[in-house]
Structure 1
Amino acid sequence: MSTSTVSASAAPLPSPAEPSPHRRGGVPWTLVLRLAAILAGVVVVLIPVYVLLVTSLKGPGDASAARAWALPREWSFENWAQAWQALSPSIWRSVQMVVPATVISAVLGCMNGFVLSRWRFPGADIVFTLILFGMFLPYQAVMIPLMQMLLGAGVPNGIPSLILLHVVFGIPITTLIFRNYFESVPHELIESATMDGAGMLRTFWSIALPLAIPGFVVVLIWQFTNAWNDFLFAVFFSSPANGPVTLALNNLANGALLANYGVSMAGALLASLPTLLVYILLSKYFLSGLMQGSVKG
């Protein structure tokens, strides 16, 4: 038997790892604290949802501020039926407004982001800065000029005006997101298309647009949520007869049905369901799209 074999067999076995002083029963106390903090945050966030839900299922005599935390004495969906009857026309108008406004602003932002990230024309940084200036412009400060411009241009009040406004005011944020996203795309892909003789439009359509799907997910969720939840533009540029669901919900809560809290709570849940479903179904893609556009490749 060789010396190396004897020394290897005589080598002491590794001792088991010492238990960490931060463990109690095999679980790190830092993990317990993180889980407790997350659970506390979830409870705080869900408290208003709980109150909304249980109140929406109470009858007129049962829905009151004194019994806000209590479960319904008798479970009823009558409040949901009344809320749907009052809000369904405005929900459909919101869909008619949000879908085109979201898609148009996303497409325009994608084109702007591609040009500003890949075509370094003279003054590109100045143009990009001026576009971003729209993100920091207080909407309240431009309501009167906007109203005069739309009236002078003959844009109909209601959904057409709201579509135009959400497209215009959505371009800055969509341009920023897509510009950052295209900056993370390897330059070799664009250069190879250029070497093959593709022009800017062909490169955008065949190379950049398919690569921008994660960016589109981020922008579509962002724009959909902002347009659906908007109330300021709805107050100035529409009426209860031709406005979105946020305006109808405000009239429902401040109208004759105010004494029936259940109808107002059911209406609030109905109005928030579309954005809630969008986040539940696409939140994974939203976060991954943000991360892909945050690091340069």
Structure 2
Amino acid sequence: MTTSTAPAPPPVTVRPKGSPSRSRFGYGRMLRYGILLFSLVVVLIPVYVLLITSFKGMGDADPSRTWALPQTWTMANWQEAWTTLSPSLWRTVQMVVPAALLSALLGSMNGFVLSRWRFPGANIVFTLILFGMFIPYQAVMIPLLQLMLTLQVPSGIVSLIILHTIYGIPITTLIFRNYYETVPHELIEAAKVDGAGMLRTFFSVVLPISIPSFVVVLIWQFTSAWNDFLFAVFFTSSQNGPVTMALNNLANGAMLQNYGVSMAGALFASLPTLLVYIVLGRFFVGGLMAGSVKS
């Protein structure tokens, strides 16, 4: 009777801790983390200056004490900034919400038609729409102002809603067209077989699956409209303008500059966009990637 023995397992080579490959891996990871940490510090330096200056009193908020902590912490700057900016903050909300929604809806309709319901000259129309992304606002500001005056469009929030809606159409059309190119043709054909026309297909089939692109477009338009200053200067005044106009007046409205109030106002003005990115940031990245690969 013969007994068979199992083959011995191959010897396991244990690499010492100080081996070159592990050292290279460790050094590379440390370098990446070091670069990330340095970039984070560079980005947060202005935020640090804004934050600590907003709590300094009039005499303490001096350029010579930019990096120093407040000698006496005070909330008076925040109270004054809120009292000054709160009316314009509400006007800005009234402006950016409809402007973002309207430009997103129009862009989605354009993108759907240009991607799935092609017509003769569709590519030319799409190219002409994209030209709007590359025309500097400064080059058309005077003719645009004359046009708005000729049409008797009231200055203020109404003008800004119209302008941001129109100027948001090129980028929203591009984003939605790229996204709708990834929608399976079978889905559209099935809707046609069931007797759905273009509008029924869009509202009942395509629109419900467009949430990722809508998130991207709404964040983009919200941020662009909220931070705009050029349109506000030409088409509004300090009495009916958005928060960027009020913030500019707050920073330049006194002979003796109160840096603490200006910094608190800047933080108030930037807080809504910051919250939008914190809450919807991961959806923003996912929505951008949703149209990057064609199925």
Please classify the TM superposition score into its range, dividing by the shorter chain length.
over 0.9
1:38-49 to 2 correspondences below 5 Å: 38-49=36-47
Q: Hey, what's the Cα distance between the residues in 2 that align with 1:255 and 1:23?
A: 60
Deviation at 1:10, TM superposition (A): 2.6
The Cα of 1:9 is off from its aligned counterpart by 2.9
Query: Is this contact kept in 1: 2:251–2:257, CA < 8 A?
Result: no
Cα deviation, residue 293, structure 1: 1.2
How far the C-alpha of 1:34 sits from its partner, in A, is 0.7
The correspondence for 1:242, drawn from 225, 240, 253, is 240
| Structure 1 residues 149-204: Cα deviation after superposition (integer angstroms, max 9, x where no partner) | 11111110011001000000000000000000111122221122122221111111
Q: 1: CA distance between counterparts of 2:233 and 2:2?
A: 91
TM-score (norm 1): 0.95
Is the 2:103–2:168 contact (alpha carbons within 8 Å) kept by the matching residues of 1?
yes
Match of 2:211 among 210, 213, 232: 213
Q: How far has the Cα of 1:128 moved from its partner?
A: 0.2
One-letter code of the match for 1:219? V
How many angstroms does 1:23 deviate by?
A: 2.6
For 2:223 and 2:278, how far apart are their aligned partners in 1?
A: 13
Q: 1:250: how far off?
A: 0.5
Matched, 1:21 2:23: no
- 1:117 counterpart residue number: 115
Partner residue in 1 for 2:91: 93
How many angstroms apart in 1 are the aligned matches of 2:111 and 2:182?
A: 12
Out of 7, 13, 16, which is 1:9 matched to? 7
* 2:69 partner SS: coil
Structural mapping, 1:72-91, within 5 Å: 72-91=70-89
Q: How does 1:133-172 map to 2 (within 5 A)?
A: 133-172=131-170
Identity of aligned residues (%): 69
Question: Cα offset for 1:22?
Answer: 4.0
> Quick check: 2:51–2:264 contact (8 Å CA) kept in 1?
yes
Distance 2:274 2:256 in 1: 25
Deviations along 1:238-270, whole A, 9 cap, x unmatched? 000000000110011011175211000000000
2:30 paired residue number? 32
Greater Cα shift, 153-162 or 254-263: 254-263
Per the TM alignment, residue 28 of structure 1 is displaced from its structure 2 partner at its CA by: 2.0
Answer with 197-206 or 207-216: which moved more: 197-206
Shift of 1:30: 1.0
Report the 3-state secondary structure (helix = DSSP H, G, I; strand = E; otherwise coil) of the residue aligned with 2:260.
helix
Count, aligned residues: 294
TM-fit CA distance, 1:27? 6.2
Partner residue, 1:296: 294
In structure 1, the residue matched to 2:196 is: 198
SS across alignment from 2:195: coil
User: Is contact 1:110–1:174 with CA below 8 Å preserved after alignment?
Assistant: yes
Retained in 2: the 8 A contact 1:258–1:264? no
Q: State the partner residue of 1:55.
A: 53
- Root mean square deviation, CA, Å: 1.7
1:33 Cα deviation from its structure 2 partner: 0.7
Structure 1 contact 53–266 (Cα < 8 Å) conserved? yes
Matched residue SS, 1:240 = coil
Matched to 1:80, the amino acid is W
Helix, strand or coil at the partner of 1:135: coil
The normalised TM-score by structure 2 is 0.95
Deviation at 1:18, TM superposition (A): 6.7
SS of the equivalent of 1:47 reads helix
The one of 239, 252, 264 aligned to 2:250: 252
Contact 2:156 2:240 in 1 (8 A): yes
Aligned residues of 1:252 and 1:258 also touching (Cα < 8 A): no
**C-alpha offsets along residues 194-218 of structure 1, whole Å, 9 cap, x if unaligned?**
2222111111111110111000000
Q: Helix, strand or coil: the match of 2:57? A: coil
Question: What is the distance in 2 between the residues matched to 1:267 and 1:164?
Answer: 27
Are 1:277 and 2:275 an aligned pair?
yes
Structure 1 residue 181 corresponds to structure 2 residue 179: yes
| Partner SS for 1:10 | coil
Q: What is the rounded CA distance, in whole Å, between the counterparts of 2:8 and 2:82 in structure 1?
A: 80
**CA-CA distance at 1:13 after TM superposition:** 3.9
User: Would you say the 8 A contact 2:179–2:291 is kept in 1?
Assistant: yes
